[in-house]
Amino acid sequence: MSALRPVPFPDELLDRVSVDALTRGFALAGDPIPIREVGAQGWSLSDLSPPILVLSDAALRHNVRLMADFCERANVELAPHGKTSMAPQLWARQLEAGAWGITAASAREARVIRLAGVRRILIANELVDEASIGWAAEQLLDPSVELLCYVDSVKGVELLDRGLASAGSVRPLRVLIELGHAGGRTGSRTPEQAMEVVERVRRSARLELAGVAGYEGTLCRDRSPGCLNRVRAYLDELRGLASRLVEDGAFSGEVVMSAGGSRFFDLVAERLRERWPSDVPVQVILRSGCYLTHDSGVYERTSPFADEDADRRFHPAMEIWGSVLSRPEPELAILGFGRRDVPFDEGFPIPTKIRTASGETVAVDGRFALTALNDQHGYAQVGSDLPLGVGDLVACGISHPCSAFDRWRAIPVLDERDRVWTRSRRSSEPVAGITRSSAGARRVAPRPRSRRAGPRRDGRRPWTAPGREARNAPRTRD
Ligand SMILES: Cc1ncc(COP(=O)(O)O)c(C=O)c1O
């Protein structure tokens, strides 16, 4: 892992985000409260309004530490996928624990990550449109920024090359050749196609081949022996391509090998860290994202650490609390959250706790399950003898954190006594909640009126690309 380093506290982003009575979950907030001051309100879970999605500080800490320890032991770097949370405070935790940088799925996400002060960004995708390529060219103006993106076709390389030329790019953009798999998404489909793409990269003065990338997470959905073998075989193909390129002298320095979501990162480390035939230096960068909050569903079942003891497995850090709105039939309870509030693409939420009107908390222990979700209602099939009354609260773990984060603009982080996190403002820890990408990007990075935007009529400073504002940007050595 990279050495521990100071992490930017993403003031620039967070200062623009507040919660008020209209923010989901914060009905009691009243007037707008800047997100960094929410922790100072002295709120706890009971001051929030259901349905409310919350994060556990203890579980986040545990997961960040566990993954950092794994990376250290396995001698791999981590660029956690930023798209999972799009939460600057959570990226800060990951960077503070030694993450090499942050991964983005698009130039738009990379802009938000850059605005949070992060200087090492891996865009795990191709850049083919003028705006994205222009933004990348702008980042290259700042020598302290390390930016990587993928290429997977000759046409794509030509677009990138031309776009960088017309944006007046000042140094080569480092690219990873992406090797995909049949039926997967992006990525050259065969090593031969990939070699052709690399040939075109080598003819460009504006691009530098940095390494090889792939994503094994779309190959298989569980850890059955057959799946593990398919993943290993694919990772060996990535190795094979990199070895061919090394023999061809395609790299001028260290070779970057990047793969790894949250399901098979152990195999990525095993296969890509194995001794390389030549003594070329190889840097392995994992891009796992969901490990951060983990979940109570798909990742709980398929994590590499699923069979470990509690202190050596990830802990679900996210849960939704909803009220029992109705018991309209003896074996049916209707909960006050639905598809608008929780993900359902990888299974329905999993009930874990009941909090009764008297404040007593009881574990559900599998005694009931959700069987359907409407937009704003959850259907719980319960035994007629289950003491679950209208007005009681039910907590559920979720399955698939990415699509849970997508639905919320601010998510409180609770301590072990269900208090909304209250560390000092000066800390690099979040005081509460997160910044959603859509809200963040829209509010903090409006398009400039023109490339040479002059003073605005409203007297406010025009937005300037972060590369151009390097002197004002939060200083960091990440
Ligand atoms: C290219 C790529 N890398 C890494 C990840 C992170 O995987 P996970 O969500 O399992 O952590 C994803 C997730 O979709 C991905 O698309």
Per-residue pLDDT tens digits for 441-466: 223 222 233 333 233 333 322 222 22
Q: How far is CA 281 from the centre of its chain?
A: 28
Please work out whether the CB of residue 400 comes within 6 Å of at least one atom of ligand 1: no
Please check whether residue 127 is in contact with residue 105, taking contact to mean a CB–CB distance below 8 angstroms.
no
Mean pLDDT confidence for 344-349: 96
Residue of 431 and 378 predicted with greater confidence: 378
DSSP string, 202-232: HT-TTEEEEEEE---TTT-SS--HHHHHHHH
Condensed to tens digits (0 to 9), the pLDDT of residues 303-343 reads 999 999 999 999 999 999 999 999 999 999 999 999 999 99
Instruction: Work out the pLDDT band at 10, boundaries 50, 70, 90.
Output: low
Residue of 438 and 288 predicted with greater confidence: 288
How remote is the CA of residue 81 from the centroid of ligand 1, in Å? 6
Strands (DSSP E) contained in 165-273 are 173-178, 207-213, 255-259
Hey, where are the domains in the chain? 25-55+312-414, 57-306
Instruction: Work out the pLDDT band at 409, boundaries 50, 70, 90.
Output: confident
How remote is the CA of residue 288 from the centroid of ligand 1, in Å? 6
Cβ contacts of 81 within 8 Å, gap of 6 or more: 102, 103, 105, 124, 261, 287, 288, 289, 290
For position 441, what pLDDT does the model report?
Answer: 27
For position 301, what pLDDT does the model report?
Answer: 97
Which tokens sit at 131?
A: 């705006």
Please work out whether the CB of residue 262 comes within 6 Å of at least one atom of ligand 1: yes
Please check whether residue 345 is in contact with residue 403, taking contact to mean a CB–CB distance below 8 angstroms.
yes
Give the rounded percent of residues in the chain with a pLDDT score beyond 70.
Answer: 85
Mean pLDDT confidence for 41-59: 92
Mean pLDDT confidence for 129-134: 98
Pick the CATH number of 25-55+312-414 from 1.10.3720.10, 2.60.40.10, 2.40.37.20, 3.90.1150.10: 2.40.37.20
How remote is the CA of residue 46 from the centroid of ligand 1, in Å? 34
Cβ contacts of 302 within 8 Å, gap of 6 or more: 221, 222, 223, 263
How remote is the CA of residue 470 from the centroid of ligand 1, in Å? 30
For position 344, what pLDDT does the model report?
Answer: 96
Cα–Cα distance between 147 and 467 in angstroms, integer? 12
Q: Is the pLDDT of residue 359 over 50?
A: yes
Say which amino acid occupies 403: S
For position 213, what pLDDT does the model report?
Answer: 98
Which ligand 1 atom is at minimum distance from the Cα of 81? Answer: 6
Q: Is the pLDDT of residue 138 over 80?
A: yes
How remote is the CA of residue 84 from the centroid of ligand 1, in Å? 8
Condensed to tens digits (0 to 9), the pLDDT of residues 229-279 reads 999 999 999 999 999 999 999 999 999 999 999 999 999 999 999 999 878
Q: Name the residue with the closest Cα to ligand 1, atom 16.
A: 215
Q: Name the residue with the closest Cα to ligand 1, atom 7.
A: 261
For position 446, what pLDDT does the model report?
Answer: 28
Instruction: Work out the pLDDT band at 17, boundaries 50, 70, 90.
Output: confident
Condensed to tens digits (0 to 9), the pLDDT of residues 202-212 reads 999 999 999 99
How remote is the CA of residue 43 from the centroid of ligand 1, in Å? 34
Which ligand 1 atom is at minimum distance from the Cα of 125? Answer: 1
For position 23, what pLDDT does the model report?
Answer: 87
Cα–Cα distance between 178 and 176 in angstroms, integer? 6
How remote is the CA of residue 287 from the centroid of ligand 1, in Å? 6
Residue of 436 and 95 predicted with greater confidence: 95
Domains 25-55+312-414 and 57-306 agree in fold:
no
Which tokens sit at 253?
A: 């320095």
Q: Beta-carbon neighbour count of residue 383 at 10 Å?
A: 10
How remote is the CA of residue 388 from the centroid of ligand 1, in Å? 38
Q: Name the residue with the closest Cα to ligand 1, atom 12.
A: 261
Cα–Cα distance between 22 and 88 in angstroms, integer? 22
For position 445, what pLDDT does the model report?
Answer: 28
57-306: CATH superfamily: Alanine racemase (3.20.20.10)
Please work out whether the CB of residue 104 comes within 6 Å of at least one atom of ligand 1: no
Condensed to tens digits (0 to 9), the pLDDT of residues 101-128 reads 999 999 999 998 998 889 999 999 999 9
Residues paired with residue 322 on neighbouring β-strands, in sequence order = 394
How remote is the CA of residue 402 from the centroid of ligand 1, in Å? 10
Run of H or E residues at 275: none
465-to-129, 162, 451 alpha-carbon distances in Å: 17, 21, 10
Mean pLDDT confidence for 74-98: 93
Which ligand 1 atom is at minimum distance from the Cα of 84? Answer: 9
For position 465, what pLDDT does the model report?
Answer: 24
Pocket test for ligand 1, best of 77, 287, 291 (most atoms within 8 A of CB): 287
For position 12, what pLDDT does the model report?
Answer: 63
Mean pLDDT confidence for 71-97: 94
Condensed to tens digits (0 to 9), the pLDDT of residues 366-398 reads 999 999 999 999 999 998 888 899 999 999 999
Condensed to tens digits (0 to 9), the pLDDT of residues 284-309 reads 999 999 999 999 999 999 999 999 99
Which ligand 1 atom is at minimum distance from the Cα of 402? Answer: 9
Task: Return the closest-CA partner of residue 25 out of 53, 1, 5, 6.
Answer: 53
Residue of 22 and 395 predicted with greater confidence: 395
Cα–Cα distance between 214 and 436 in angstroms, integer? 27
- Burial (CB < 10 A; 0-12, 13-18, 19+), residue 2, is middle
For position 112, what pLDDT does the model report?
Answer: 87
Q: Is there a cis peptide before residue 51, judged by omega within 30 degrees of 0?
A: yes
Q: How far is CA 403 from the centre of its chain?
A: 11
Which ligand 1 atom is at minimum distance from the Cα of 290? Answer: 11
Q: Is the pLDDT of residue 440 over 80?
A: no
pTM value?
0.88
How remote is the CA of residue 228 from the centroid of ligand 1, in Å? 17
Q: Name the residue with the closest Cα to ligand 1, atom 5.
A: 261
For position 86, what pLDDT does the model report?
Answer: 87
